[in-house]
């Protein structure tokens, strides 16, 4: 058995170079001590932050510089921590900066309420007195958008007091599903194994239909045992969001959720309507799956069975690098030149070591490189993950290099666009250049699963979430029966007559943690749809597509997400965006059929 390496056993060339942030932990602590005293400056602005244009500008510039110092410390500590979470020195780094950040948050809690104590019209007059304030115009506009949804100081203080209470439904749900729920055992390959939420995703894909059925039945029977408890928690979460939206003068909890990104409700509804009008494509996919897997009847517990379950080809990291750079070369010389910096300047921590955080991410900000954490093993999935995370890194790189600090941070709404564009470009490149039929079928299968899970499944969740909130807003009392009945009907809509719907599927809503994230799931579907249109435009040679995409990457956080996407030629209010993704899905199915 190959032993897991320690951090010290990994060659330096395969580790990220954090010395570009701080040369040593001693330098980190020296700066930390300096910042501890410097953050106290903010108390000098309390009560007079909007007394004049010069005073406001002075605060904004000073706080920016201080934040940059704080987050430079934070990113160093967080990256050091994740490279070896068992290292107590790394744990101390993280804890020390978290304490200072908490203190800074407390010190600056007066800022937004004090800003909102005057009207935005007064701030606009400040721009005439101090033109440099215009650099903060968008930031201030974003703050003052909330004025009509902000209570007086006593009201805000009261809501703040109850903020932890409002989190109780989600906390209770996590405690129940993460800690208290157990699902017993199932028999797999002649051995009794404990079923968990984690390994359920493995056994629902098992080649033995008996294992899939037993895992499905065991899991959802257990959830049905807790239907009253989870209904109460679920309803409590919606009650909190609906009440909060009403108190803050929103027309609905959906409007309140979309407000931060300045997204019109029409975008949300358009997603559901467009997907609803294109159910033929998902039914086509399930019919293909039935045919390929030689199933006369496909149950709901069969839909996760992979058509191409294994592909054992391995790619060295140098091969992965070459493939990713080649695939992304369509984005132009400037993009590739900057992409090469990730490899040449050691932005990437490549291989697993003992204590290293699992998974993968890209993380960095204005005064650091955008670093990438990997646990590279050599599968195609790992190659795709490299492309994905470098998409995030390049988005961060372009955002920071082309904006002032205060306009450099892009919204979550657009965060997955650049990463998914890279994933799709890699897949398209591989399909075009591979001579291996099995490799092509594997990649096509992965793409079909991506579109099925991200477009159709997330839209079904979005439709369910919207209806549940709408019912509460209209005074309907939620019970486990009417919730489960509606969820079952949605499954009938999204699976049609192609899939046999076992009755227990009606309890699936109980195990979806995203229903406690306040209308988040639709962003997955929108993000993939946007990325699809961008990739279509670039690969088809549409005039200006590549240049427009780079403009989007460079926009950072300088505008609202929908406006930034317009720079890339994508109008999220148009059904064409969703339709482009559904057409791509359909073409992938056809390509799979042709090769098959």
User: Of the listed 67, 83, 170, 389, which one is catalytic?
Assistant: 389
Q: Using DSSP, state whether 125 is helix, strand or coil.
A: helix
- For 428, phi and psi rounded to 5 degrees? -65, -40
Token duo for residue 421: 């564009």
Q: Any idea which residue has 């590279």 for tokens?
A: 376
Q: Using DSSP, state whether 373 is helix, strand or coil.
A: strand
The C-alpha atoms of residue 16 and residue 28 are separated, in whole angstroms, by 17
- Evaluate whether 19 touches 345 at the Cβ level (below 8 Å): no
Q: Using DSSP, state whether 467 is helix, strand or coil.
A: helix
Q: How many residues in total does the chain contain?
A: 596
The C-alpha atoms of residue 325 and residue 329 are separated, in whole angstroms, by 6
The C-alpha atoms of residue 469 and residue 167 are separated, in whole angstroms, by 17
Handedness of CA 196, 198, 203, 205 (dihedral sign): positive
DSSP state of 560: -
Burial class, 37, CB count within 10 angstroms (exposed 0-12 / middle 13-18 / buried 19+):
exposed
389 is catalytic: yes
Nearest residue to 462 via CA among 250, 174, 173, 254: 254
Q: Any idea which residue has 């064409």 for tokens?
A: 576
The number of beta carbons lying within 10 Å of the beta carbon of residue 5 is: 14
Beta strands 371-373; 348-349: pairing state: parallel
Strand partners, 191: 188
Burial class, 32, CB count within 10 angstroms (exposed 0-12 / middle 13-18 / buried 19+):
buried
DSSP state of 75: H
Instruction: Say how many Å lie between the first and final Cα of the chain, rounded.
Output: 37
Which residues, 6+ apart, have CB-to-CB distance to 303 below 8 Å? 286, 289, 495, 499
- For 250, phi and psi rounded to 5 degrees? -95, 155
The C-alpha atoms of residue 220 and residue 287 are separated, in whole angstroms, by 25
Q: Where are the extended beta strands (E) located within 452-557?
A: 499-500
Burial 64-80 (b: 16+ CB within 10 A, else e): bebbebbbbbbbbbbbb
Half-sphere exposure of 421 (CA within 13 A, CB side): 31
State the helix-helix crossing angle for 575-595 and 279-292, rounded to 10 degrees.
20
Active site residues: 389
């Amino acid at each position: 058995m190959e032993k897991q390496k320690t951090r010290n056993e990994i060659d330096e060339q395969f580790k990220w170079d954090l010395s570009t942030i701080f040369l040593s932990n001693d330098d980190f602590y020296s700066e930390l001590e300096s910042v501890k005293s410097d953050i106290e400056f903010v108390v000098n602005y309390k009560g007079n932050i909007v007394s004049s244009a010069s005073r406001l500008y002075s605060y904004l510039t000073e706080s920016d510089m201080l934040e940059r110092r704080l987050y430079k410390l934070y990113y160093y500590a967080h990256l050091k921590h994740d490279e070896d979470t068992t290292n107590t020195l790394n744990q101390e780094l993280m804890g020390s900066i978290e304490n200072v950040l908490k203190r800074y948050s407390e010190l600056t809690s007066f800022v937004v309420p004090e800003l909102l104590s005057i009207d935005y019209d007064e701030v606009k007059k400040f721009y005439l007195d101090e033109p440099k304030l215009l650099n903060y115009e968008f930031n201030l506009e974003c703050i003052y958008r909330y004025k009509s949804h902000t209570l007086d100081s006593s009201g805000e203080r009261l809501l703040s007091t109850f903020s932890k209470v409002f989190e109780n439904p989600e906390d209770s749900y996590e405690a129940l599903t993460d800690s208290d729920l157990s699902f017993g055992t199932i028999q797999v390959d002649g051995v009794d194994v404990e079923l968990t939420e984690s390994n359920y995703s493995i056994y629902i894909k098992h080649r033995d239909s008996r294992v899939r059925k037993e895992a499905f039945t065991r899991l959802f029977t257990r959830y049905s045992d807790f239907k009253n408890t989870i209904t109460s928690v679920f309803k409590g979460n919606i009650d909190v969001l609906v009440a909060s939206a009403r108190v803050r003068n929103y027309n609905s909890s959906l409007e309140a959720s979309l407000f931060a990104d300045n997204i019109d409700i029409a975008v949300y509804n358009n997603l559901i309507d467009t997907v609803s009008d294109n159910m033929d494509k998902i039914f086509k996919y399930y019919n293909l799956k039935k045919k390929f897997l030689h199933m006369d009847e496909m149950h709901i517990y069969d839909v996760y069975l992979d058509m191409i379950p294994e592909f054992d080809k391995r790619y060295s990291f140098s091969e992965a690098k070459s493939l990713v750079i080649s695939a992304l070369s369509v984005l132009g010389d400037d993009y590739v030149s900057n992409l090469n910096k990730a490899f040449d300047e050691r932005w990437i921590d490549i291989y697993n070591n003992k204590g290293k955080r699992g998974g993968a991410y890209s993380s960095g900000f204005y005064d650091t490189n955008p670093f990438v954490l990997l646990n590279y093993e050599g599968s195609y999935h790992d190659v795709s993950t490299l492309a994905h995370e470098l998409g995030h890194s390049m988005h961060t790189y372009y955002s920071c290099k082309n904006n002032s600090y205060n306009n450099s941070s892009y919204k979550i709404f657009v965060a997955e666009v650049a990463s998914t564009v890279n994933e799709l470009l890699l897949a398209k490149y591989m399909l075009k250049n591979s001579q291996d039929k099995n490799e092509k079928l594997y990649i096509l299968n992965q793409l079909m699963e991506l579109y099925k899970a991200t477009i159709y499944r997330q839209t079904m969740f979005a439709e369910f979430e919207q209806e549940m909130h709408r019912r509460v807003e209209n005074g309907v009392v939620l019970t486990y029966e009417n919730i489960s009945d509606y969820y079952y009907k949605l499954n009938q809509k999204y699976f049609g007559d192609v899939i046999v719907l076992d009755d227990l599927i009606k309890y699936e809503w109980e195990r979806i943690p995203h229903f406690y994230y306040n209308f988040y799931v639709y962003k997955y579907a929108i993000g993939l749809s946007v990325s699809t249109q961008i990739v279509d435009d670039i690969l088809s040679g549409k005039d200006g597509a590549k240049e427009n995409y780079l403009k989007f990457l460079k926009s950072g956080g300088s505008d609202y997400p929908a406006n930034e996407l317009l720079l890339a030629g994508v109008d999220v209010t148009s059904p064409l965006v969703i339709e482009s993704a559904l057409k791509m899905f359909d073409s992938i199915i056809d390509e799979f059929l042709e090769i098959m």
